[in-house]
Amino acid sequence: MKRKSAIADPRDIGTDQTRKRLRESTLQRLIRQRKIDPDMERAANEILRIYSALTRRLWARPSLMERLSRSDQPPHPEWLVEAYLERYIPWTEALSTIRSPALSILYDVIIDDRPLRQIDKDRRVRNGSARQMTISGLRLYVDLSGWRRAS
Half-sphere exposure of 134 (CA within 13 A, CB side): 29
Distance in angstroms (rounded) separating the CA atoms of residues 100 and 120: 13
Q: Could you tell me which residue, 89 or 7, shows the higher pLDDT?
A: 89
Q: What does the pLDDT read at residue 18? A: 76
Q: What does the pLDDT read at residue 5? A: 46
Q: What does the pLDDT read at residue 38? A: 92
State mean pLDDT over 40-54: 92
Neighbouring C-beta atoms of residue 29, cutoff 10 Å: 15
Confidence of residue 74 (pLDDT cuts 50, 70, 90): low
Q: What does the pLDDT read at residue 54? A: 85
State mean pLDDT over 8-18: 68
